[in-house]
Amino acid sequence: MEEQKGKKIHLNEYMKILLENRKKEVIKEDHINELNRKKGEGLTSPTTETTTEETRLFTDYMHRANIFHIAKSDEKRGKILMLRKFFKSKRNDEVEVYSKCGKECIHTVGKVSTIGRDFVMLTNLNKRIWIPYSVVESANIPHGIPTYSNTHQHLFYDNNLRDKLLYNFGETVAKRDVLKQQFFEETLNTNLHVWKETWVEIHLNEKEKIVGKIASSIKNKCTLNYFGKKVEVDLANVQYITTIRFLSLLPNIGKYFAKGDKNDEK
């Protein structure tokens, strides 16, 4: 073929040269395709020349290397990608997160529930906690917790769900929060909107915090309702959000209505 480079040849001459080279070609045994052919599953095209396990290891290495390269050129973007990669590898596992809240540092321990585009949600026995990536100082596995390479969980293959995803993808995913997390990375804004009517405590810094029931979360503005009084919070200023129980509000409710009665008397 190299001799014919730069020289025009006819199709029959090209086919003759090609067939001669095919005869000299070393045929590599492909056991995977051979078994697939016998099962009637058809042939698959290999992604690389190497073995499948080597390809998977290299792919994982390539993704990690790319994140470090991005972090060197854009530290803020690289930090977000690293945190998302870490939390995805620890989904449903317990982690500890050190985050800033004004001048203070908050230590949070919980299971990774939701990994969003700009936040992570942790859960424990008592509450849910939303932490924006922008305030995370460090994330790790608590001391004494075994380190697993993959999330350990039992999987059930649902043929009915498979058919629904194939033939009615949009409606099926929209009805299940678990599927939304698999196919779509939510922002803090969209995720809070899902938790409407939930009582939360939003920390803006170490001193300022706002309590209320989520009324809506639209256009990066979260509206809280506190017994008829509505407060709008800019999510860009949020540093920590945690759910609270209604019973914990009872001492403050008395004070709130007492102040209202005094204002009416005046």
Angle at 107 between CA 103 and CA 111, to 5 degrees: 140
From CA 104, how far away is CA 97, in angstroms rounded? 14
From CA 211, how far away is CA 245, in angstroms rounded? 11
What is the per-residue pLDDT for 157? Answer: 62
43 within 8 A of 33, measured Cβ to Cβ: yes
Helix (H, G, I), strand (E, B) or coil at 237: helix
* Matching fold, domains 53-140 and 159-253: yes
Query: Along the 266 residues of the chain, how does pLDDT read in single tens digits?
Result: 445 556 778 888 888 888 888 888 777 777 777 787 777 777 677 677 777 888 888 888 898 899 889 988 888 899 999 999 999 888 888 999 999 988 899 999 999 988 989 999 999 988 999 999 999 999 998 887 666 555 455 556 677 888 888 888 888 877 777 777 677 788 999 889 889 889 999 999 888 888 888 998 998 899 998 878 888 999 999 999 999 887 766 665 555 555 554 444 54
* Domain range summary for the chain, segments of one domain joined by +: 53-140, 159-253
Dump the DSSP string for 114-128. EE-SSEEEEE-SS-E
What is the per-residue pLDDT for 1? Answer: 47
Q: Does domain 159-253 have CATH number 2.30.30.100?
A: yes
From CA 71, how far away is CA 159, in angstroms rounded? 41
From CA 182, how far away is CA 225, in angstroms rounded? 31
CATH of 53-140, one of 2.30.30.100, 2.70.70.10, 3.60.21.10, 3.40.718.10: 2.30.30.100
From CA 219, how far away is CA 188, in angstroms rounded? 11
**What's the token pair of residue 129?**
């906690």
